[in-house]
């Protein structure tokens, strides 16, 4: 037999109490009726061989039935109100949400019964999440359009200038066009990674990898750009095999290096890889200027940027750290940001090995 829920138990208890009350009313009322009849009108008592009720008995039966009906209707109305009021509110709010009104919320009262009250609460939580998702989608659409507009506008202007003979088709022009195309490619790849992670489809190809060698390769490729920004990479890499998707870890490291190149002041850039307590940690530490504590919690959200006045290069998409968080989470790990002891910032990517 299926276990009764809280609402079912309350209905069963209410109906059982109602039935018991009516039975007691009939039984005890009968004793009281005949006791009063014997005391005040003994001649009206029916004879022992009478099988039809007498007039007083008929009146008493009618009154008993009337009281039982009033009691039943009162209990039923009160019980249905406690059940139907929150359900009706949820149904009305559902229609409003279906018509696009995401501000709609269901309401109940203090007398709403168990599951009905929880249904109201669950619906309101769902409506709040839908509203938040709609706002995030609108924000994403606006942010993506903003990020795509600049390179597309530049490409269109340059190509139109080349077609009309305004620009000379030389190597510098083609290199500029190629730079914009590469920026678009990075933006598309970042959007793909973050979108796949949000939908739960970011797959990994994990295998034992000498990650220190991969990190050295990435840093060597990125070193000229770091040097141009006045940053000197300092490596501290623990040797050994690490279970991970090396391509994704390299992608995350490049995003961290690019983020540091845009924001950090000239100085040493410490890149560390350590294994401790069955946890692998990849960190990038700069010498400043640091990040305000109120920004660290949402820094890994998509299209979030730091203080523009402390940014060397404002051409980034705002997706780099979101990609880092997605890759860390796909490895069952996490990405974090904290202040260093030197006034700078430490970005960490860790995952179980």
Spell out the SS3 assignment of 87-148.
Answer: HHHHHHHHHHHHCCCCCCCCCCCCCCCHHHHHHHHHHHHHHHHHHHHHHHHHHHHHHHHHHH
Query: How far apart (Å, rounded) are the C-alpha atoms in residues 169 and 147?
Result: 27
Q: What is the pLDDT of residue 7?
A: 52
Q: What is the pLDDT along the chain (353 residues), one digit of tens a residue?
A: 344 445 556 665 666 677 677 767 776 777 776 677 677 776 665 555 544 455 665 676 677 667 766 777 677 677 767 777 777 888 888 888 888 888 888 877 666 666 777 888 888 888 888 888 888 777 777 777 777 787 788 888 888 888 888 888 888 888 888 878 877 887 888 888 888 887 777 888 888 988 999 999 999 988 988 998 899 999 999 888 888 998 899 989 988 998 898 888 898 999 999 988 889 999 999 987 878 777 777 788 776 655 554 454 545 556 788 888 889 988 999 998 888 877 888 999 999 98
pTM for this predicted structure: 0.60
Question: Looking at beta carbons, which pairs linking 112-116 to residues 24 or more positions away fall under 8 Å?
Answer: 112/82, 112/85, 112/86, 113/6, 113/7, 113/10, 113/82, 113/83, 114/5, 114/6, 114/7, 114/10, 115/5, 115/6, 115/7, 116/7, 116/82, 116/83, 116/86, 116/87
pLDDT number for residue 46? 58
> In whole angstroms, how far apart are CA 279 and each of 111, 216, 247, 326, 333?
51, 20, 19, 18, 9
Q: Are the beta carbons of 318 and 305 closer than 8 angstroms?
A: yes
pLDDT at 215: 92
For position 2, what pLDDT does the model report?
45
Q: What was the pLDDT predicted at 12?
A: 59
Q: Whole-angstrom Cα distance, residue 49 to residue 142?
A: 93
Residue 303, phi then psi, degrees to nearest 5: 65, 25
């Amino acid at each position: 037999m299926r276990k009764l829920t809280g609402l079912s138990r309350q209905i069963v208890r209410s109906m059982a109490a109602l039935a018991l009350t009516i039975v007691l009313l009939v039984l005890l009322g009968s004793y009281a009726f005949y006791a009063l009849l014997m005391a005040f009108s003994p001649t009206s008592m029916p004879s022992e061989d009478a099988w039809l009720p007498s007039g007083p008995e008929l009146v008493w039966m009618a009154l008993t039935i009337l009281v039982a009906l009033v009691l039943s209707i009162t209990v039923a109305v009160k019980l249905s109100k406690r059940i139907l009021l929150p359900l009706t509110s949820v149904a009305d709010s559902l229609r409003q949400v279906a018509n696009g009104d995401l501000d709609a919320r269901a309401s109940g009262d203090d007398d709403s019964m168990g599951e009905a009250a929880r249904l109201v609460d669950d619906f309101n939580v769902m409506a709040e999440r839908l509203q938040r998702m709609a706002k995030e989608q609108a924000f994403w659409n606006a942010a993506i359009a903003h990020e795509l507009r600049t390179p597309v506008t530049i490409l269109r202007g340059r190509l139109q200038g080349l077609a009309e003979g305004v620009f000379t088709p030389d190597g510098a022009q083609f290199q500029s066009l190629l730079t914009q195309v590469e920026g678009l490619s990075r933006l598309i790849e970042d959007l793909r990674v973050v979108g796949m992670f949000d939908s739960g489809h970011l797959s990994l190809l994990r295998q034992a990898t000498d990650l220190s060698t991969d990190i050295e390769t990435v840093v060597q490729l990125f070193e000229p750009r770091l040097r141009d920004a006045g940053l000197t990479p300092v490596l501290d890499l623990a040797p050994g095999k690490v279970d991970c998707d090396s391509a994704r870890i390299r992608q995350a490291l490049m995003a961290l290096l690019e983020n540091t190149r845009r924001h950090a002041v000239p100085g040493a850039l410490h890149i560390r890889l350590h294994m401790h307590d069955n946890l692998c940690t990849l960190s990038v530490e700069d010498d400043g200027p640091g990040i305000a504590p109120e920004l660290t919690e949402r820094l890994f959200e998509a299209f979030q940027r730091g203080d523009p006045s402390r940014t060397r290069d404002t051409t980034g998409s705002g997706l780099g750290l979101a990609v880092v968080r997605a890759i860390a989470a796909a490895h069952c790990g996490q990405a974090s940001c904290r202040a260093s002891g030197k006034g700078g910032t430490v970005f960490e990517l860790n995952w179980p090995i």
